Structure 1
Amino acid sequence: MKGIISIQSHVVFGHAGNSSAVFPLQRMGMEVWPIHTVQFSNHTQYKQGWKGRAFSADDINQLVAGIDNIGKLSDCQAILSGYQGSAEQCQAIIHTVNSVKQQNPAAIYVCDPVMGDPEKGCILADGITEQLINDVMPIADVIVPNQFELTQFTGMEINNLEQAKLACEKALTLGPKIVLVKHLHSIADDTFTMMLATADGMYISQRPQLEFNRQPVGVGDLISALFTGGLLQDMSAVTAFEHATNACYGVLKETHKRQEWELQTIAAQAELVQPTEVFHAKVV
């Protein structure tokens, strides 16, 4: 049984982190081995707050060691990481990636480098951003940053498409082989823009921007999972990029139709496999 180790946050209620990533991957036919960096009652943007705690880096290492003990690290096809609860957890991610690749050199590491954004209610512990930039993102095969995170990684300002292309070009010289920018907010106001950069070229995907009273949380986690699943199903990077765009839009449409804040991933599960709307990637 081959699978994906997904090391992310987990919420009991709603869909963020592993709670946004695991089911879509399973619905695409993947086995997922989730490891939680934190376990919260709900995501952190609720005005009432949340309950729960972060796990230690040793908790992550112990769980990975347990998988190794039963001889299954060699069956790990990918490591997917998202929100980290401490700088020490970043080191546990690095240890996990190294351990898996020793057992299976063909495994890929997909890093969603979640960085602090106080305006969105996402606050990180000290040292995490620096660890992501200096130690974690450079060892990733694939990174899935938003515009802010790409700027942090490359040190380059992004205000337009040309600057985004230059930043992606630089990111590809820093270690990753594929860059998927999960949201380029400076490109257009009326459309949601994503960018893909590989050694073969650069592409953008644009789909309608749905208006929500409160923006759903966990969209980036969903995009990262869908893209990872596509790559493991032998889709080309461009096809996986298009699938992630289209499937995510299908989930968001259902969420919008129901006027919900939490992603309606279960209700829209057919979209994860066969999206009803198709937005093609364009070469830029």
Structure 2
Amino acid sequence: MKGILSIQSHVTYGHAGNSAAVFPMQRMGLEVWPIHTVHFSNHTQYPQGWTGDVVSADSISKVFDGLAKLDILGDISAIVTGYMGDASHCNVIADIVTRVKQENPDCLYVCDPVMGAPDKGCIVSDGVAERLIGTLMPMADILVPNQFELTQFTGMEINSLKDAAAACAKARSQGPNMVVAKHLHSVEGVAFSMLMANEDGTYLVQRPHLTFERQPVGVGDMISSTFVAGLLTGCDPVQAFEHCNNAVYGVLKTTEEAGEWELQTIAAQREFETPTSDYKALKL
């Protein structure tokens, strides 16, 4: 039985981290084996606060060691990582990726390098960003950064689409085979823009901006998961990129129409299989 190992945060209420990533991949027909880096009551932007704990690096290692004893590491088709609750998690993830690839060299490592956005209530521990840049991001087969994270990895300023394409190219020269820039806020226009760069070229896909009183959390986690799920279910990279954009837009549209803050992944679950929109990617 083939599966995806998803290592990121978990919230009991709502949809962020594994709570936003696991179900979409399952709904697209894939087995998913989650390991949590934190277990919180809810995401950290609630004004009431949150409760819960960061999972220790030792606990993450123990869970993975349990999987290794089942002799299933060769069945892991992809490893998806997101929010790290502590810098020590990065070292554990590097070891996990190395061990899995020894058993299955074709396993894809998909890194969503969450570096935090204090203005949005997303805070990461000291040392996480440095270890992401120095260790995990260069190891990735597929890197899924936002504009800020892409800038931090490449050291390049991004003020235009041309800048973003150049930054994706530089990021690819630093290790990853493919880069999916999941939000380019500096690209002009009224559309929400994403960029995907691989050996075949650089592609832009856009969707309409939606207006929220409070921006939903977990969108990036959903982007990473639906993209890799597309690849593993027979899509080529451009098709997976388009499917990801359209599926996520469908969920966001349902969320907006419901007047909700939390992503409506259950109500909009058909979007993961058959998106109602069909925005196409443009090769630059």
Q: Shorter chain as normaliser: what TM range? A: over 0.9
Whole-angstrom CA distance in 2 between matches of 1:162 and 1:250: 28
- The structural deviation recorded for 1:235 is 1.1
227-236 or 203-212, larger mean C-alpha shift: 227-236
Give the TM-score normalised by the residue count of structure 2: 0.99
- The structural deviation recorded for 1:116 is 1.6
| 1:38 matched to 2:48 | no
| 1:140 matched to 2:137 | no
1:208 aligned residue: 208
| 1:235 matched to 2:230 | no
- The structural deviation recorded for 1:60 is 1.0
1:164 aligned residue: 164
Whole-angstrom CA distance in 2 between matches of 1:36 and 1:70: 19
Q: Percent identity?
A: 59
1:190 aligned residue: 190
Give the TM-score normalised by the residue count of structure 1: 0.99
1:7 aligned residue: 7
2:22 aligned residue: 22
Q: Is the 8 A contact 2:160 2:188 kept in 1?
A: no
Whole-angstrom CA distance in 2 between matches of 1:139 and 1:271: 31
Corresponding letter in the other structure for 1:60? I
Mark the runs of 5 or more structure 1 residues left unpaired by the alignment.
Answer: none
- Deviations 1:113-159 (Å, cap 9, x if unpaired)? 00021111111111000000010000000000000000000000000
1:109 aligned residue: 109
Whole-angstrom CA distance in 2 between matches of 1:280 and 1:116: 30
Q: What's the secondary structure of 1:205's corresponding residue? A: strand
Whole-angstrom CA distance in 2 between matches of 1:234 and 1:92: 30
Corresponding letter in the other structure for 2:261? W
2:261 aligned residue: 261
Whole-angstrom CA distance in 2 between matches of 1:77 and 1:234: 13
Q: Which runs of 4+ in 1 moved over 4 A?
A: none
Count of residue pairs the alignment pairs up = 284
- Deviations 1:198-233 (Å, cap 9, x if unpaired)? 111001001000000000000000000000101111
Q: What's the secondary structure of 1:6's corresponding residue? A: strand
Q: What's the secondary structure of 1:131's corresponding residue? A: helix
Corresponding letter in the other structure for 1:227? F
Whole-angstrom CA distance in 1 between matches of 2:56 and 2:253: 37
Whole-angstrom CA distance in 1 between matches of 2:234 and 2:24: 17
Whole-angstrom CA distance in 1 between matches of 2:28 and 2:4: 12
Whole-angstrom CA distance in 2 between matches of 1:268 and 1:158: 33
1:81 aligned residue: 81
Whole-angstrom CA distance in 1 between matches of 2:243 and 2:92: 30
Whole-angstrom CA distance in 1 between matches of 2:203 and 2:189: 19
Q: Is the 8 A contact 2:27 2:272 kept in 1?
A: yes
Whole-angstrom CA distance in 1 between matches of 2:257 and 2:2: 36
CA RMSD of aligned residues (A): 0.6
Whole-angstrom CA distance in 1 between matches of 2:189 and 2:245: 17
Corresponding letter in the other structure for 1:248? V
Q: What's the secondary structure of 2:6's corresponding residue? A: strand
